[in-house]
Amino acid sequence: MTTYSLPDPSHFVRNIHGKNTHLIILTNPAGMQVALTDYGARLVSALVPDKGGNLVDVVLGFGSIDGYLHAHEKYHGATIGRFGNRIANGKFSLDGEDYTLAQNNGPNNLHGGEGGFHSKVWDRQVSFKQKVDFYYVSPDGEEGFPGEVKVNVCYELTNENEIIIRFRATTNKPTVINLTNHAYFNLNGEGNGDILNHILQIPSTHFIPIDDNQIPFGEESPVENTPFDFRRPKKVSEDIGQDNLQIKAGSGYDHTFVNPSPLSQAAATAYAEDSGIQLQVYTTEPGIQLYTGNFLSDDTGKSGSKYLKRGGFCFEAQHYPDSPNQPNFPNVVLRPGEEFQSQISYKFNIVK
């Protein structure tokens, strides 16, 4: 059995473009331990007790800043912005102005571009053992987006083994915003096999179908009689291999589910029988992207194991993909004088 521990903080002391990086550690009285770094305002580790009382690190990631800098997968645990997910052809219009963004994912803009929020060193303020705030000012025109945006991401570890992430943002010009967290989870422990054996439950009656470039057609579609029906708990493996056009378009699950009751009910739940660890996600956001790590390959993680395809899954709570170009999707425009606020909470339980 793997014994998990937090990474060595000295491996997170680095200077990136003139700014120092750090490892920040939060602990709660229940014994849960969380590590974060200001490089990407990122979740590095979450040590959660399993059904035998052993601490299991359920978040994929690396033991040093260099690990993050050299990884194939750039988004491990990171705060994603200014716009999470895809914007078709890297283009959108707002108030009659056309904007062109980098095309860093085929023809699309993905996760704010190569220089998105995941790649920035944020300022930090640690409040006691259970809370850290990260701050970043994104300049007007960064990665092609209009307006100077001030962002605050606060991580709090509660006494109930819950990581609450609160996002806030303001702008000085009209812009679009879609913030999320890109943690990959494996509830049997990072590096411990794939997540095909995890049991998921998602109460959504509808999901957002995508085309071959992973861009929505602009509609919500019923999950009924499709591999996307997780209303009753089901293993990831059950339908992921189905001969289904949407599964093919995502190379597995890589789709947004419509959140039926933001914050009042878990938008998604995952459970691993071996560890007995359950993860519930509560969010204010209208959608939750289930991504089953279809493109993971080749990176070696914290405890020396390779992160292979489907070695982790993400529950990315956010607005729908390509919203700036989809008039029927919930609003993503942020204007001067308004404050954007959203919340994601990852709650860990033991279910025997």
Residue of the chain from 37, 64, 289, 326 that contacts ligand BGC (CB under 6 A): 289
248 contacts: CB under 8 Å, gap ≥ 6:
none
3-state secondary structure of 178: strand
Answer for which of 254, 285, 299, 322 binds ligand BGC (CB under 6 A) is 254
Answer whether 58's CB lies under 8 Å from 348's CB: yes
Interaction between residue 217 and ligand BGC (CB under 6 A): no
Partners of 34 in beta bridges: 26, 46
- Spatial separation of the C-alpha atoms in residues 304 and 312, rounded to whole Å: 15
Nearest alpha-carbon partner for 65 in 28, 105, 22, 108? 22
Residue 41 beta carbon to ligand BGC: minimum distance, rounded to whole angstroms: 16
* Site membership for ligand BGC, residue 295 (CB under 6 A): yes
- Residue closer to ligand BGC, measured from CB, 73 or 285: 73
Distance of CA 272 to the CA centre of its chain: 19
Peptide bond into 86 cis (omega under 30): no
Q: Where are the alpha helices (DSSP H) in the chain?
A: 65-70, 237-240, 245-250
For the bound state, the minimum distance from the C-beta of residue 336 to ligand BGC, rounded and expressed in Å, comes to: 29
Backbone angles phi, psi at 76, to 5 degrees: -50, 115
Smallest distance from ligand BGC to CB 308, Å: 15
Of residues 33 and 204, the one with the C-beta less far from ligand BGC: 204
Interface segment toward ligand BGC; rule CB under 6 A; list 39-47, 235-243, 289-297, 303-311? 289-297
Is residue 95 exposed (0-12), middle (13-18) or buried (19+ Cβ within 10 Å)?
exposed
Cα–Cα distance, 27 to 117 (Å, whole number): 25
Residue 17 is among the residues annotated as catalytic for this protein: no
Choose the catalytic residue: 22, 76, 118, 182.
182
Q: Least distance in Å: CB of 286 to ligand BGC? A: 16
Nearer to ligand BGC, 28 or 180 (CB): 180
3-state secondary structure of 10: helix
335 is in an annotated binding site: no
Determine whether the annotation assigns residue 161 to a binding site: no
Q: Does 117 bind ligand BGC (CB under 6 A)?
A: no
Among 133, 142, 156, 316, indicate the residue that binds ligand BGC (CB under 6 A): 316
Q: Is 111 a catalytic residue?
A: no
| Active site positions, annotated | 182, 316
Residues within the interface to ligand BGC (CB under 6 A): 73, 75, 214, 254, 289, 291, 295, 316
Q: Which positions make up the binding site?
A: 85-86, 182-184, 254
